[in-house]
């Protein structure tokens, strides 16, 4: 199955959403290469970067599920090639 490398940027404007985000990411753990979370307490936001290697439909599904959470925005950048 062809996979793509992608980076997903997630901005969570509520610390309460962290548990929901982690739960969704756990469901897609087989596709996660790595992730980094940075809490910006002064602005009350969490900044999360997730590196993925997955079929494009799985990446789209993950981004959609995370982006539909209250107070959460997710954007994805894809590599140019599929392998």
Rounded Cα–Cα distance for residues 44 and 51 (Å)? 23
pLDDT, tens digit, 9 for 90 and up, residues 41-61: 899 899 999 999 999 999 999
What digits encode the pLDDT tens for the residues 31-43? 999 999 999 989 9
Q: What is the pLDDT of residue 83?
A: 64
Domain 4-78, second-level architecture: 2-Layer Sandwich (3.30)
User: pLDDT above 90 covers what percent of the chain?
Assistant: 83
At 74, the pLDDT band (50, 70, 90 cuts) reads very high
> In this structure, are residues 74 and 28 in contact, taking their beta carbons and an 8 Å threshold?
no
Residues 6 or more apart whose CB falls under 8 angstroms from that of 50 comprise 7, 8, 10, 25, 32, 34, 35
Give domain limits for the chain. 4-78
């Amino acid at each position: 199955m062809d996979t793509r490398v992608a980076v997903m940027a997630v901005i969570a404007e509520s610390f309460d959403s962290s548990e929901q985000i982690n739960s969704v990411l756990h469901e897609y753990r087989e596709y996660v290469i790595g992730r980094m979370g940075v809490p910006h307490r002064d602005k009350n936001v969490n900044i999360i970067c997730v590196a993925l290697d997955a079929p494009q439909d799985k990446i789209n599904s993950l981004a959609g599920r995370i982006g539909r959470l209250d107070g959460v925005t997710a954007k994805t950048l894809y590599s140019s090639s599929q392998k």
